[in-house]
Chains A and B, each alone.
Chain A
Amino acid sequence: MKILTLNFLTCARKTCKSSPAAFPLHPRDAELEIVETEFNALFIQNILPRVEWDALKGLCTELGLTNVPPEAPEPKELFDTSIKSAGIDEKEKEPTQLTRDLHNLLLETTIQSGKLVCGNCGHEYAIKEGIANFLLPSHMV
Protein backbone atom coordinates (compact mmCIF):
# COMPACT_ATOMS: atom_id res chain seq x y z
CA MET A 1 0.00 0.00 0.00
CA LYS A 2 1.52 3.22 -1.22
CA ILE A 3 1.60 6.35 0.94
CA LEU A 4 -0.24 8.02 -1.94
CA THR A 5 -3.18 5.60 -1.66
CA LEU A 6 -3.21 6.08 2.10
CA ASN A 7 -3.68 9.78 1.42
CA PHE A 8 -6.97 8.96 -0.33
CA LEU A 9 -8.40 6.16 1.81
CA THR A 10 -11.23 6.78 4.26
CA CYS A 11 -13.17 4.55 6.61
CA ALA A 12 -15.60 2.36 4.62
CA ARG A 13 -18.37 2.37 7.22
CA LYS A 14 -21.54 4.20 6.33
CA THR A 15 -21.69 5.83 9.76
CA CYS A 16 -18.25 7.40 9.23
CA LYS A 17 -19.02 8.90 5.82
CA SER A 18 -19.54 12.45 7.00
CA SER A 19 -17.07 12.42 9.88
CA PRO A 20 -13.86 14.43 9.36
CA ALA A 21 -12.14 12.05 11.82
CA ALA A 22 -12.57 9.15 9.34
CA PHE A 23 -9.75 10.58 7.18
CA PRO A 24 -6.93 9.85 7.13
CA LEU A 25 -6.86 6.35 8.53
CA HIS A 26 -4.06 5.91 11.06
CA PRO A 27 -1.38 3.29 10.38
CA ARG A 28 -0.47 1.01 13.30
CA ASP A 29 2.33 -1.56 13.56
CA ALA A 30 3.27 -0.67 10.02
CA GLU A 31 6.14 -2.44 8.30
CA LEU A 32 7.47 -0.21 5.56
CA GLU A 33 9.22 -1.26 2.40
CA ILE A 34 10.61 0.70 -0.51
CA VAL A 35 9.34 -0.80 -3.78
CA GLU A 36 10.98 0.83 -6.76
CA THR A 37 8.73 1.93 -9.55
CA GLU A 38 9.27 3.84 -12.75
CA PHE A 39 9.62 7.57 -12.18
CA ASN A 40 6.82 9.52 -13.82
CA ALA A 41 6.99 13.28 -13.30
CA LEU A 42 3.76 13.86 -15.21
CA PHE A 43 1.86 11.73 -12.75
CA ILE A 44 3.30 13.67 -9.81
CA GLN A 45 2.26 16.86 -11.56
CA ASN A 46 -1.27 15.52 -12.08
CA ILE A 47 -1.82 14.14 -8.58
CA LEU A 48 -0.06 16.76 -6.43
CA PRO A 49 -2.99 19.21 -6.28
CA ARG A 50 -5.17 16.38 -4.91
CA VAL A 51 -2.79 15.37 -2.13
CA GLU A 52 -4.06 16.52 1.29
CA TRP A 53 -0.81 17.92 2.57
CA ASP A 54 -1.68 18.14 6.26
CA ALA A 55 -2.94 14.55 6.22
CA LEU A 56 0.26 13.49 4.46
CA LYS A 57 2.41 15.19 7.09
CA GLY A 58 0.40 13.53 9.86
CA LEU A 59 0.70 10.11 8.23
CA CYS A 60 4.42 10.52 7.76
CA THR A 61 4.90 11.57 11.38
CA GLU A 62 2.97 8.49 12.50
CA LEU A 63 5.13 6.31 10.27
CA GLY A 64 8.36 7.90 11.47
CA LEU A 65 9.14 9.42 8.08
CA THR A 66 10.81 12.80 8.32
CA ASN A 67 11.86 15.51 5.89
CA VAL A 68 8.40 16.05 4.42
CA PRO A 69 8.19 19.69 3.25
CA PRO A 70 6.04 21.73 5.69
CA GLU A 71 3.97 23.18 2.85
CA ALA A 72 2.64 21.54 -0.31
CA PRO A 73 5.06 22.24 -3.17
CA GLU A 74 3.91 24.61 -5.90
CA PRO A 75 3.47 23.12 -9.39
CA LYS A 76 6.26 25.34 -10.69
CA GLU A 77 8.70 23.70 -8.26
CA LEU A 78 8.32 20.34 -10.03
CA PHE A 79 10.27 21.24 -13.14
CA ASP A 80 13.51 23.05 -13.74
CA THR A 81 12.57 26.50 -14.98
CA SER A 82 16.09 27.80 -15.53
CA ILE A 83 16.87 29.71 -18.71
CA LYS A 84 18.41 26.58 -20.17
CA SER A 85 15.11 24.75 -20.21
CA ALA A 86 12.84 27.71 -20.88
CA GLY A 87 10.64 27.48 -23.92
CA ILE A 88 10.98 23.76 -24.47
CA ASP A 89 8.20 21.22 -24.59
CA GLU A 90 6.50 20.31 -21.31
CA LYS A 91 7.46 16.67 -21.76
CA GLU A 92 11.12 17.51 -22.12
CA LYS A 93 11.33 19.70 -19.05
CA GLU A 94 13.73 18.42 -16.48
CA PRO A 95 12.02 17.32 -13.24
CA THR A 96 13.59 18.66 -10.08
CA GLN A 97 15.01 16.65 -7.19
CA LEU A 98 11.88 17.60 -5.25
CA THR A 99 9.75 15.74 -7.82
CA ARG A 100 11.96 12.66 -7.46
CA ASP A 101 11.68 12.88 -3.69
CA LEU A 102 7.89 13.12 -3.95
CA HIS A 103 7.88 10.06 -6.22
CA ASN A 104 9.94 8.17 -3.68
CA LEU A 105 7.67 9.15 -0.79
CA LEU A 106 4.25 8.83 -2.46
CA LEU A 107 4.74 5.92 -4.85
CA GLU A 108 7.71 3.90 -3.65
CA THR A 109 7.25 3.97 0.12
CA THR A 110 4.75 1.24 0.94
CA ILE A 111 3.17 -0.43 3.94
CA GLN A 112 3.62 -4.18 3.61
CA SER A 113 1.83 -5.15 6.79
CA GLY A 114 0.09 -3.62 9.75
CA LYS A 115 -3.32 -2.08 10.09
CA LEU A 116 -5.21 1.11 9.37
CA VAL A 117 -7.38 2.48 12.16
CA CYS A 118 -10.35 4.81 11.77
CA GLY A 119 -10.07 7.88 13.98
CA ASN A 120 -13.85 8.07 14.25
CA CYS A 121 -15.12 4.56 14.93
CA GLY A 122 -11.89 2.76 15.78
CA HIS A 123 -12.45 0.04 13.18
CA GLU A 124 -9.21 -1.66 12.12
CA TYR A 125 -8.41 -2.63 8.55
CA ALA A 126 -5.64 -5.21 8.31
CA ILE A 127 -2.85 -4.94 5.72
CA LYS A 128 -1.18 -8.17 4.65
CA GLU A 129 1.31 -8.48 1.81
CA GLY A 130 0.57 -4.88 1.01
CA ILE A 131 -3.17 -5.52 0.50
CA ALA A 132 -5.61 -3.77 2.82
CA ASN A 133 -8.76 -5.67 3.73
CA PHE A 134 -11.81 -3.41 3.49
CA LEU A 135 -14.44 -6.15 3.65
CA LEU A 136 -17.02 -5.19 6.24
CA PRO A 137 -19.26 -7.40 8.34
CA SER A 138 -22.74 -6.79 6.93
CA HIS A 139 -24.03 -4.91 10.00
CA MET A 140 -21.41 -2.18 9.34
CA VAL A 141 -22.39 -1.55 5.70
Chain B
Amino acid sequence: MSRPEDTLPPDLYYNDPVSRQYTTSSRIQKIQAQMTHRALQILNLPPSQSSHILDVGSGSGLSGAILTQRGHTWVGMDISASMLAIALQRGTGALPRKRRKLAQDMEMDVEDGIDDKQSNDEDAGDEEVEDEGEEDEIGDDAPCEGDLLLADIGQALPFRPGTFDAAISISAVQWLCQAESSDENDAPTRRLKRFFEALYVCLKRGGKAVMQFYPRNQKERDMVGTAARRAGFGAGFLVDAEGTKAEKVYLVCSVGGEDVTATIEAMEDVEIEGGAVGAGRGREQKGKFGKGEYKKGSKEWIMRKKERMERKGMVVKKNSKYTGRKRKVAF
Protein backbone atom coordinates (compact mmCIF):
# COMPACT_ATOMS: atom_id res chain seq x y z
CA MET B 1 0.00 0.00 0.00
CA SER B 2 1.57 3.28 -1.03
CA ARG B 3 1.14 6.49 0.83
CA PRO B 4 -0.25 9.19 -1.44
CA GLU B 5 2.42 11.74 -0.52
CA ASP B 6 5.13 9.30 -1.56
CA THR B 7 3.93 9.24 -5.12
CA LEU B 8 2.99 12.77 -6.12
CA PRO B 9 2.57 16.27 -4.69
CA PRO B 10 -1.04 16.90 -3.57
CA ASP B 11 -1.98 19.17 -6.47
CA LEU B 12 -1.14 16.35 -8.84
CA TYR B 13 -2.23 13.47 -6.63
CA TYR B 14 -5.70 14.87 -6.07
CA ASN B 15 -6.41 15.19 -9.76
CA ASP B 16 -9.94 14.79 -11.01
CA PRO B 17 -10.59 11.04 -10.76
CA VAL B 18 -8.78 10.70 -7.44
CA SER B 19 -10.52 13.75 -5.97
CA ARG B 20 -13.88 12.40 -6.94
CA GLN B 21 -13.13 8.97 -5.62
CA TYR B 22 -11.75 10.45 -2.42
CA THR B 23 -14.83 12.58 -1.94
CA THR B 24 -17.46 10.04 -2.80
CA SER B 25 -16.06 7.19 -0.76
CA SER B 26 -18.52 7.07 2.13
CA ARG B 27 -15.89 5.39 4.25
CA ILE B 28 -13.39 8.18 3.83
CA GLN B 29 -16.13 10.72 4.40
CA LYS B 30 -17.07 9.08 7.69
CA ILE B 31 -13.51 8.95 8.95
CA GLN B 32 -12.91 12.55 7.91
CA ALA B 33 -16.10 13.66 9.62
CA GLN B 34 -15.13 11.80 12.79
CA MET B 35 -11.71 13.41 12.82
CA THR B 36 -13.24 16.84 12.28
CA HIS B 37 -15.59 16.33 15.22
CA ARG B 38 -12.66 15.16 17.30
CA ALA B 39 -10.58 18.19 16.28
CA LEU B 40 -13.43 20.49 17.27
CA GLN B 41 -13.78 18.69 20.58
CA ILE B 42 -10.08 19.27 21.25
CA LEU B 43 -10.33 22.91 20.17
CA ASN B 44 -12.98 23.35 22.83
CA LEU B 45 -14.26 26.69 21.53
CA PRO B 46 -16.56 28.69 23.81
CA PRO B 47 -20.03 27.23 23.18
CA SER B 48 -21.71 30.59 22.79
CA GLN B 49 -19.15 31.92 20.35
CA SER B 50 -19.48 31.89 16.62
CA SER B 51 -15.87 31.70 15.45
CA HIS B 52 -13.77 32.62 12.43
CA ILE B 53 -11.86 29.45 11.55
CA LEU B 54 -9.12 28.56 9.08
CA ASP B 55 -9.35 25.10 7.53
CA VAL B 56 -5.86 24.12 6.39
CA GLY B 57 -6.13 21.72 3.46
CA SER B 58 -9.90 22.09 3.20
CA GLY B 59 -10.19 19.66 0.29
CA SER B 60 -13.72 18.95 -0.79
CA GLY B 61 -15.19 21.05 2.01
CA LEU B 62 -16.32 18.17 4.20
CA SER B 63 -14.82 19.58 7.40
CA GLY B 64 -16.13 22.98 6.40
CA ALA B 65 -19.67 21.61 6.18
CA ILE B 66 -19.33 20.56 9.82
CA LEU B 67 -17.95 23.98 10.79
CA THR B 68 -20.92 25.63 9.08
CA GLN B 69 -23.29 23.25 10.85
CA ARG B 70 -21.79 24.39 14.16
CA GLY B 71 -22.40 28.04 13.30
CA HIS B 72 -18.83 29.03 12.46
CA THR B 73 -17.56 31.03 9.51
CA TRP B 74 -14.51 29.54 7.84
CA VAL B 75 -11.89 30.06 5.16
CA GLY B 76 -10.39 27.00 3.49
CA MET B 77 -7.03 26.66 1.78
CA ASP B 78 -6.14 23.84 -0.57
CA ILE B 79 -3.47 23.21 -3.17
CA SER B 80 -5.67 20.97 -5.29
CA ALA B 81 -7.87 22.81 -7.78
CA SER B 82 -9.92 19.70 -8.46
CA MET B 83 -10.67 19.21 -4.76
CA LEU B 84 -11.78 22.85 -4.57
CA ALA B 85 -13.94 22.32 -7.64
CA ILE B 86 -15.70 19.49 -5.81
CA ALA B 87 -16.25 21.77 -2.80
CA LEU B 88 -17.97 24.22 -5.15
CA GLN B 89 -20.29 21.48 -6.35
CA ARG B 90 -21.72 21.03 -2.88
CA GLY B 91 -25.35 21.98 -2.80
CA THR B 92 -25.75 21.89 -6.56
CA GLY B 93 -26.88 18.27 -6.67
CA ALA B 94 -23.78 17.35 -8.63
CA LEU B 95 -22.50 15.22 -5.79
CA PRO B 96 -24.26 12.01 -4.79
CA ARG B 97 -26.66 12.54 -1.94
CA LYS B 98 -27.42 9.12 -0.56
CA ARG B 99 -25.07 6.67 0.93
CA ARG B 100 -26.37 3.83 -1.20
CA LYS B 101 -25.50 5.90 -4.19
CA LEU B 102 -22.09 6.58 -2.68
CA ALA B 103 -21.44 2.88 -2.33
CA GLN B 104 -22.34 2.28 -5.94
CA ASP B 105 -20.01 5.01 -7.04
CA MET B 106 -17.22 3.51 -5.04
CA GLU B 107 -17.71 0.13 -6.66
CA MET B 108 -17.70 1.77 -10.04
CA ASP B 109 -14.50 3.55 -9.19
CA VAL B 110 -12.88 0.30 -8.18
CA GLU B 111 -13.94 -1.20 -11.48
CA ASP B 112 -12.44 1.79 -13.18
CA GLY B 113 -9.15 0.71 -11.74
CA ILE B 114 -8.74 3.32 -9.03
CA ASP B 115 -6.99 1.78 -6.09
CA ASP B 116 -9.19 2.32 -3.09
CA LYS B 117 -6.26 1.79 -0.79
CA GLN B 118 -4.19 4.70 -1.95
CA SER B 119 -5.47 6.98 0.73
CA ASN B 120 -4.15 7.23 4.25
CA ASP B 121 -7.67 7.64 5.51
CA GLU B 122 -8.34 4.12 4.32
CA ASP B 123 -5.76 2.81 6.75
CA ALA B 124 -8.20 3.13 9.60
CA GLY B 125 -9.57 -0.04 11.11
CA ASP B 126 -13.06 -1.20 10.26
CA GLU B 127 -14.33 -0.72 13.78
CA GLU B 128 -14.41 3.01 13.23
CA VAL B 129 -17.16 2.98 10.69
CA GLU B 130 -19.53 0.64 12.49
CA ASP B 131 -21.51 3.17 14.50
CA GLU B 132 -24.16 4.98 12.55
CA GLY B 133 -24.02 8.21 14.49
CA GLU B 134 -26.10 11.17 13.45
CA GLU B 135 -23.02 13.35 13.26
CA ASP B 136 -21.70 11.35 10.36
CA GLU B 137 -24.51 12.39 8.09
CA ILE B 138 -22.78 15.31 6.49
CA GLY B 139 -25.09 16.40 3.77
CA ASP B 140 -23.69 16.92 0.35
CA ASP B 141 -26.89 18.80 -0.22
CA ALA B 142 -25.63 21.79 1.77
CA PRO B 143 -23.71 24.36 -0.28
CA CYS B 144 -20.14 25.22 0.63
CA GLU B 145 -20.41 28.31 2.83
CA GLY B 146 -16.75 29.02 3.41
CA ASP B 147 -14.41 31.07 1.26
CA LEU B 148 -11.82 29.01 -0.58
CA LEU B 149 -8.26 29.84 -1.57
CA LEU B 150 -6.14 27.91 -4.01
CA ALA B 151 -2.85 28.04 -2.15
CA ASP B 152 0.17 26.09 -0.97
CA ILE B 153 0.32 26.15 2.84
CA GLY B 154 4.08 25.58 2.60
CA GLN B 155 4.43 28.91 0.78
CA ALA B 156 2.36 31.39 2.76
CA LEU B 157 -0.89 32.00 4.61
CA PRO B 158 -1.86 35.43 3.24
CA PHE B 159 -3.76 36.81 6.22
CA ARG B 160 -3.13 39.72 8.51
CA PRO B 161 -2.32 39.12 12.20
CA GLY B 162 -5.11 37.84 14.41
CA THR B 163 -7.47 36.96 11.55
CA PHE B 164 -8.72 33.66 12.98
CA ASP B 165 -10.05 32.44 16.32
CA ALA B 166 -8.83 28.94 15.55
CA ALA B 167 -7.56 26.62 12.85
CA ILE B 168 -8.22 23.00 12.04
CA SER B 169 -6.55 20.68 9.59
CA ILE B 170 -7.51 17.14 8.62
CA SER B 171 -5.00 14.89 6.83
CA ALA B 172 -2.96 17.69 5.25
CA VAL B 173 0.16 18.54 7.25
CA GLN B 174 2.05 15.38 6.19
CA TRP B 175 2.28 16.88 2.72
CA LEU B 176 4.57 19.56 4.16
CA CYS B 177 7.11 16.87 4.97
CA GLN B 178 7.67 16.36 1.25
CA ALA B 179 10.20 18.36 -0.71
CA GLU B 180 8.29 20.10 -3.49
CA SER B 181 11.44 20.29 -5.59
CA SER B 182 15.18 19.93 -5.22
CA ASP B 183 15.31 23.68 -4.53
CA GLU B 184 16.64 24.35 -1.03
CA ASN B 185 13.77 26.77 -0.45
CA ASP B 186 11.31 23.91 -0.96
CA ALA B 187 12.91 21.64 1.64
CA PRO B 188 10.43 20.25 4.23
CA THR B 189 12.06 22.18 7.06
CA ARG B 190 11.62 25.45 5.17
CA ARG B 191 8.03 24.64 4.23
CA LEU B 192 7.16 23.67 7.81
CA LYS B 193 8.83 26.80 9.15
CA ARG B 194 6.93 29.10 6.79
CA PHE B 195 3.66 27.33 7.53
CA PHE B 196 3.86 27.42 11.32
CA GLU B 197 5.20 30.97 11.46
CA ALA B 198 2.39 32.19 9.23
CA LEU B 199 -0.18 30.18 11.17
CA TYR B 200 1.07 31.68 14.42
CA VAL B 201 0.65 35.19 13.05
CA CYS B 202 -2.84 34.76 11.61
CA LEU B 203 -4.30 33.24 14.78
CA LYS B 204 -5.50 35.61 17.45
CA ARG B 205 -3.83 35.61 20.85
CA GLY B 206 -5.07 32.68 22.86
CA GLY B 207 -6.13 31.00 19.63
CA LYS B 208 -5.62 27.30 19.02
CA ALA B 209 -5.01 25.01 16.10
CA VAL B 210 -5.73 21.28 16.01
CA MET B 211 -4.18 19.41 13.14
CA GLN B 212 -4.71 15.73 12.47
CA PHE B 213 -2.06 14.33 10.18
CA TYR B 214 -0.33 11.11 9.18
CA PRO B 215 3.34 11.22 10.11
CA ARG B 216 5.09 8.28 8.48
CA ASN B 217 7.36 7.78 11.47
CA GLN B 218 8.46 9.23 14.79
CA LYS B 219 11.09 11.39 13.14
CA GLU B 220 8.53 13.07 10.95
CA ARG B 221 6.20 13.62 13.90
CA ASP B 222 9.05 15.21 15.85
CA MET B 223 9.99 17.38 12.90
CA VAL B 224 6.45 18.79 12.74
CA GLY B 225 6.21 19.30 16.51
CA THR B 226 9.58 21.03 16.60
CA ALA B 227 8.62 23.36 13.75
CA ALA B 228 5.43 24.33 15.63
CA ARG B 229 7.34 25.09 18.84
CA ARG B 230 10.03 27.04 17.06
CA ALA B 231 7.33 29.24 15.54
CA GLY B 232 6.29 30.13 19.09
CA PHE B 233 3.39 27.74 19.65
CA GLY B 234 2.75 25.80 22.80
CA ALA B 235 2.40 22.41 21.14
CA GLY B 236 1.68 18.83 22.07
CA PHE B 237 0.45 15.63 20.47
CA LEU B 238 -2.74 13.79 21.21
CA VAL B 239 -2.87 10.24 19.89
CA ASP B 240 -6.07 8.24 19.56
CA ALA B 241 -6.01 4.46 19.21
CA GLU B 242 -2.25 4.48 19.51
CA GLY B 243 -0.44 1.57 17.98
CA THR B 244 -3.49 0.28 16.13
CA LYS B 245 -4.33 0.44 12.47
CA ALA B 246 -6.75 3.25 13.25
CA GLU B 247 -4.17 5.39 15.04
CA LYS B 248 -4.82 9.11 14.71
CA VAL B 249 -2.30 11.80 15.56
CA TYR B 250 -3.45 15.31 16.43
CA LEU B 251 -1.01 18.17 16.86
CA VAL B 252 -2.49 20.68 19.29
CA CYS B 253 -1.05 24.20 19.10
CA SER B 254 -1.80 27.23 21.18
CA VAL B 255 -0.81 30.87 20.70
CA GLY B 256 0.36 31.90 24.15
CA GLY B 257 -1.67 31.98 27.30
CA GLU B 258 -2.64 28.35 27.57
CA ASP B 259 -0.97 25.15 28.61
CA VAL B 260 -1.96 22.68 25.94
CA THR B 261 -1.08 19.70 28.11
CA ALA B 262 -3.67 20.68 30.69
CA THR B 263 -6.35 20.75 28.04
CA ILE B 264 -5.35 17.37 26.70
CA GLU B 265 -4.92 15.83 30.13
CA ALA B 266 -8.48 16.75 30.96
CA MET B 267 -9.67 14.49 28.17
CA GLU B 268 -10.13 10.79 28.60
CA ASP B 269 -8.51 7.92 26.76
CA VAL B 270 -5.67 9.84 25.28
CA GLU B 271 -1.96 9.48 25.18
CA ILE B 272 0.03 12.64 25.58
CA GLU B 273 3.30 13.22 23.92
CA GLY B 274 5.56 16.16 23.59
CA GLY B 275 3.83 18.16 26.25
CA ALA B 276 3.26 21.85 26.10
CA VAL B 277 5.82 24.54 25.88
CA GLY B 278 5.68 28.26 25.89
CA ALA B 279 2.54 28.55 27.97
CA GLY B 280 1.93 32.16 28.76
CA ARG B 281 4.67 33.32 26.49
CA GLY B 282 3.65 35.95 24.03
CA ARG B 283 4.50 36.92 20.51
CA GLU B 284 7.31 39.13 21.75
CA GLN B 285 9.14 35.98 22.82
CA LYS B 286 8.86 34.46 19.38
CA GLY B 287 12.06 33.02 18.08
CA LYS B 288 13.87 33.27 21.37
CA PHE B 289 14.75 29.90 22.67
CA GLY B 290 17.81 28.23 23.96
CA LYS B 291 19.97 25.74 22.16
CA GLY B 292 18.19 22.65 20.97
CA GLU B 293 14.51 22.26 20.46
CA TYR B 294 13.23 23.18 23.89
CA LYS B 295 12.22 26.68 24.69
CA LYS B 296 13.78 28.25 27.73
CA GLY B 297 11.39 28.06 30.66
CA SER B 298 9.30 25.31 29.13
CA LYS B 299 8.61 22.11 30.97
CA GLU B 300 10.94 20.18 28.68
CA TRP B 301 13.63 22.74 29.15
CA ILE B 302 13.34 22.60 32.92
CA MET B 303 13.38 18.79 32.89
CA ARG B 304 16.44 18.76 30.67
CA LYS B 305 18.19 21.27 32.83
CA LYS B 306 17.34 19.31 35.95
CA GLU B 307 18.72 16.17 34.35
CA ARG B 308 21.92 17.93 33.46
CA MET B 309 22.26 19.37 36.96
CA GLU B 310 21.57 16.01 38.55
CA ARG B 311 24.19 14.41 36.38
CA LYS B 312 26.60 16.99 37.64
CA GLY B 313 25.73 15.92 41.17
CA MET B 314 23.73 18.97 42.08
CA VAL B 315 20.65 18.78 44.27
CA VAL B 316 17.53 19.64 42.36
CA LYS B 317 13.96 20.03 43.46
CA LYS B 318 11.90 16.89 43.01
CA ASN B 319 9.73 16.94 39.90
CA SER B 320 6.06 17.43 40.56
CA LYS B 321 3.10 17.72 38.32
CA TYR B 322 3.51 21.44 38.66
CA THR B 323 7.03 21.41 37.29
CA GLY B 324 7.26 23.81 34.41
CA ARG B 325 3.60 24.69 34.54
CA LYS B 326 2.54 28.22 34.07
CA ARG B 327 1.83 30.03 37.28
CA LYS B 328 -0.68 32.77 37.49
CA VAL B 329 0.83 36.22 37.83
CA ALA B 330 -0.37 37.89 40.98
CA PHE B 331 -0.77 41.63 41.00
Q: CB < 8 Å: which of B50, B77, B145, B183 contacts A42?
A: B50
For residue A136, CB closer than 8 A to chain B, the reply is yes
Q: CB < 8 Å: which of B88, B156, B181 contacts A129?
A: B88
In the complex, chain B residues 59-100 whose Cβ is within 8 Å of any chain A Cβ: 71-73, 75, 77, 79, 84, 88
- Beyond A1-B147, A42-B50, A47-B73, is A9–B88 a contact (Cβ under 8 Å)? no
Please, how many angstroms separate the alpha-carbon atoms of A90 and B49 in the complex? 11
Question: Is B150 a contact of A133 with CB atoms below 8 Å?
Answer: yes
Please, how many angstroms separate the alpha-carbon atoms of A132 and B76 in the complex? 11
For residue A50, CB closer than 8 A to chain B, the reply is yes
Question: Is B183 a contact of A40 with CB atoms below 8 Å?
Answer: no
Complex interface: chain B residues within 8 A of A136 (CB) = 152, 155-156
Q: CB < 8 Å: which of A10, A91, A138 contacts B159?
A: A10
Which of B113-121, B122-130, B160-168, B233-241 participates in binding chain A?
B160-168
- Beyond A42-B50, A138-B181, is A130–B160 a contact (Cβ under 8 Å)? no
A32 to chain B, nearest CB (A): 14
Q: CB < 8 Å: which of B147, B155, B162 contacts A141?
A: B155
Complex interface: chain A residues within 8 A of B31 (CB) = none
For residue A11, CB closer than 8 A to chain B, the reply is yes
Complex interface: chain A residues within 8 A of B151 (CB) = 12, 133-135
Question: Is B155 a contact of A47 with CB atoms below 8 Å?
Answer: no
Contact with B along A1-35 (1 / 0, CB 8 A): 11011001111111000000001000000000000
B93 to chain A, nearest CB (A): 17
Q: Mark B residues whose CB is within 8 Å of A.
A: 48-52, 71-73, 75, 77, 79, 84, 88, 145, 147-152, 155-156, 158-160, 162-163, 165, 180-181, 183, 185-186, 194, 204
